[in-house]
Amino acid sequence: MSTERLESLAKRFGFHFLENPRQILVVLGIGLVLLWILLPVYWTLAISMRTTEEIFGSPDLLLNPASLNFENYRILWPVEDQQVANFSRFIVNSAIIATLNAVLTTVLAVPAAYAFRLGVGYSKHIFFWILTNRMAPPAAFLLPMFLLTSELNIIGTHWGLAIVYLIFNLPLAIWLVYGIIKAIPEEIDEAVYVDGGNDFTVLKEVIVPLSKPGIAVSFLLVWLFAWNHYAFTLMLSDDSTMTITQGIAQFFTTVGTSWNLMAAGTMLSMLPGLVLAAIVQKHIVTGLTFGAVKA
């Protein structure tokens, strides 16, 4: 490529190729980071488009558009002569459980974070205790949650898994929303009190409207964590509530691993999260920087 061509491309992206070498290094660095992040996704996509013989016979990095094979994706859907579970049902189950959990978590996290902002009794100690639940490994809760859900007769239900996921997702949501709510000036609260409002009025008319970007980010993260959760589904779900993570894991057996089907299932599991992220993307940057303080 000629120097004139490079300069033309550089100007198109907003910098001069020869006069701004530092920007060139920045762009190259960003490109390397993106390559590091996206290469596993691309390799998973490439494996999902190949047969088992092609995976072990010619593991080429580049995909040939003329030989793309969508048979692995077709096998994941219900066919009478196939003994592969129905991935459409797995996706629906995961979507229901993740949505229920995200809604429950958000509804509980916002007033809880607001209560910590008001400084309820022993709020610092309670806040730290809530965070410790997030720090604990999931295996520590498997047995008590199994016994509790058994007593409540909610094993194998969407609501049962959605409630159990609160153990880890609610502390995260409270922590995120609290940092956002804390950044709202208290002078706004005082103005509402002067006009005859109360704490509930402040929460409804001030806190929630001003915190919508951060709440949207919290909802997205909680939904993704619930969508990707695996440990509790092993013990608390049945054939009717099996999730996408269990569906992917079924291809890893003691007699062999169907890497192509596992890769196809993994690619399918990414789609709902990407769609949800695209819907709330305008709130992500605003929500993550809501409480930032300029120097």
How far is residue 12's CA from residue 135's CA, in Å, rounded to a whole number?
A: 47
Q: Going from the N-terminus, what domains does the chain have, and what CATH number goes with each?
A: 3-69 (no CATH), 87-288 (1.10.3720.10)
Question: 112-135: per-residue pLDDT in tens?
Answer: 888 888 877 677 778 788 888 778
What are the b/e assignments for 67-79, b being 16+ CB within 10 Å? eeeeebbebbeee
The CA distance from 255 to 239, in Å, is 22
Specify whether the CB–CB gap between 72 and 261 falls below 8 A. yes
Give CA–CA dist 72/81, Å, rounded: 14
- Mapping DSSP to helix (H, G, I), strand (E, B) and coil, where does residue 240 land? coil
In angstroms, rounded to a whole number, what is the distance separating the alpha carbons of residues 272 and 92?
10
Residue with tokens 């690619």: 267
Determine the Cα–Cα distance for residues 210 and 231; give it in Å rounded to an integer. Answer: 36
Query: To the nearest whole number, what is the mean pLDDT of the chain?
Result: 80
Q: Give residue-wise pLDDT tens across range 63-119.
A: 766 667 788 888 877 655 444 557 888 888 999 999 999 999 999 999 988 888 887
Backbone angles phi, psi at 28, to 5 degrees: -65, -40
Do 212 and 282 form a contact (C-beta atoms < 8 A)? Answer: no
Lowest-pLDDT choice from 2-16, 54-68, 115-129, 158-172? 2-16
Alpha-helical runs (H) found in the chain: 3-12, 21-48, 52-57, 71-75, 87-118, 123-135, 139-152, 158-164, 166-182, 186-194, 199-202, 208-210, 212-228, 231-236, 244-249, 259-279, 281-288
The reported pTM is 0.79
